[in-house]
Structure 1
Amino acid sequence: MVTDAPADSTLHDGARAAAYAPPTTRDGWQQFVATPPLHPRQQHLLADLGLTAEGARAARPRRIPQAAAFAAGLAHARAWAQQHGNLAVPEPARHDGYRLGTWLRTQRRRASRGKLPADRIKALEAIDPHWNPAGGLRWRQAYLTACTHTTGRSPATTADFNALPADTAKWLFTQCSSYDNLQPEQQQQLAGIGLTSERARALAPPPKPPQPTRPARPRLKNPPSAVAAGLPYARSWAAQHGNLSSAGYRTEHDGFPLGWWLYKQRRAAGAHVKRTGRPWPHNPPLTALDPWWNPPWRATWNHSWHQAHTCYSTGMPFPNQTTKWIRTQQRTWDQLHPHQQHLMGTIGIHGPTPLHRYNSHPANLTDQPTELINTHETNPEQQTRSSQAHPAGARKQRPPPRQHTPHRQTQPTN
């Protein structure tokens, strides 16, 4: 909703109209005309100030020719070089409000693409021969910083490098180690600060010793040839361990990545069944070695079960991680597959029997591993001490609440 202007505003209309001046720059004109369409009442109020659509169109500044724009940028570049001695201008830098860094970046891009005329390239080279450095602007800026720190002295030894600031010394060591990969223009600039080819190679750090190469593993794919390549290793593993489910993902057998190969075959079998609805054609030879080589649950469950079965069969105590895993299976007993429940029975777990960690008199758990039961029993002497320390019915007496005295003293009565 647009409201009328106050009555006293008409007294200043003449002064505001006289003070108004149309935008004289291209950016200002674009900002002026880029506003959304105005309400007719707003247009009427602006017309009272002398601002009309025709006047806005007429106030559009003329576009500056490219030659004039380049001349303006060249003048600022010349003034910058007189002040700083080079044209290694950072991109956000300005000179008297002119975006000189952006202008030089545009000229470098045009020169690299072959779109900058030769006369303009010569004009910039007359100001600074390295205005478009071969190694890039950052390399040129680092080089100028090194020139500042090495003025009057030539770095000839490692001690000379260590006496320089850390960033400059690191940059110089990098140039020495990669001196042969530098462009001739860069090598010429480094020679200007005393870092010749002989000295750079002498100061270069020794190359790192080559790392021992590991033999390449056989490339695994899922065509029949890959299945046939892994079957001999699977037969050998099954003959030694009696199954294929005990091979983890990183298991290698005779230098062959058997665990990864089995993982690939399980994925191929699942993808085939999902795509066609028919059994995988390469399933029979693996099923003959282990009927549960590709179980309907995650293969990591079998890995955890084999760890528990190894401890149970050898009489070793269960590790903490295995104990937690067994308790998880007991909590989710009803969700286990019948064959999973059968496998749990082989390690003495026959049902979802609750485990009491701090029970002093545990129940008689049938066929439960002793590692999962707390067998701490107290003798009569310990029970007597416990009853004396904490007699029945005794409660801890709390101290009475503290009486806080008021800080304000009472005034005597007159």
Structure 2
Amino acid sequence: MSIPVAPSSPSKARMGWLMPPFLLELPLEATDEDNLVDEVCDRARTILEGRSPEEQAQFAVVLFQLTVQLIEQANAVYAGMAFLDIDGRTSMATILVSQITHDGDSDVAVCSQTEDSLRRAYPGDDIRIVFLPRVPAVTRIGADSIFLSAEIAPDGQAHAVPRNLVQAYVPIPHSTELLIFELSTTCLEDWDLYSELFAEILRTIDYSTDEDVAEFHRREALASAPSDSLGDDMRQDLRWHSSRVLEACVVRGRFIEDQDWMSGAACSECWSRGLRSSCTAQHHWRVGDLTANQLTVALEGVSAYFTDHGWKLEDGRHEGRVQAQQVGLSGDGRPRHSISVNADMGEGHLTIEVQSECRRQVRSVATSDFG
């Protein structure tokens, strides 16, 4: 199961992860109390299929109390329970994900502050900073106990039940928000199994920015729109301008192969006139493994180069971007181009887009109803 979370403004990242399909998800989004009762009763009947109605009702009460508690906390975004048959016995674990805010300056700073706070609060626990495939995090492994009331205890007696737990504090990139993943179990003999399950969940954590989502939809639209394939002349023209950008950047990094592509489409004006064949083309590419200083140098180089060559510049270096528009036609009548260079200081990559102007409008001073 994939769980996306879109943080509130001003966050620009959307975090997602995968949960195993066998987890029983608690209905945190229940609309009212009646709806919540129906949802937890359905889950109790599913988990305890074949058990007596009394056992199902007792378990539904436990689920109801737990779900209400999580809803009242207001920061829970996911809650699930695992019920596994291990050597003929039922083993259970709970997985929670909650979302809070922080005031750190960067993901690394947030992790460092979180690690210090956890060490002071839980001096005997195993606390460390780790690096997941896409984001840093702080993990905590410890043990405590939970109170089991007489009403829900199998023997009718109140108990303090020991449990093991593991947590991961994951900053959401480009935001002031933090996700807390937690797995806990009272089945201590199955701890190794649940620890590995938790690690697998953490490895699936990924995120995309608003810009990534917009780019996905744009590419999706381009793929579905009828268009001519790009000719060699258009490809060479785009490559030539991309080479000028690379030359201006001065720095050298790692080209990201799956982020290097060209596409052609009808511009919005031609599309509105019923013209569907390609009239404009774009080259999108990305360079990674760059330091913040290298990215700054690259933006300065692009700004200086295209200003010197008479392009109209929109200088947004303080925001990590530079855009340039070619002024007038080149000497051989080729269409004008626009160039966009965006630096992601956090990820250490530079994204470049080179786009040609509509060829139909370049070839004819006046347009007609026939295109």
- For the criterion TM > 0.5, the same-fold answer is no
Q: Give TM-score, length-normalised by structure 1.
A: 0.21
Q: Which has the higher helix share?
A: 1
Report which structure shows greater RCO (CA 8 Å, sep ≥6): 2
Q: Give TM-score, length-normalised by structure 2.
A: 0.22
Q: Which has the higher strand share?
A: 2
Asked which structure has the greater CA Rg, the reply is 1
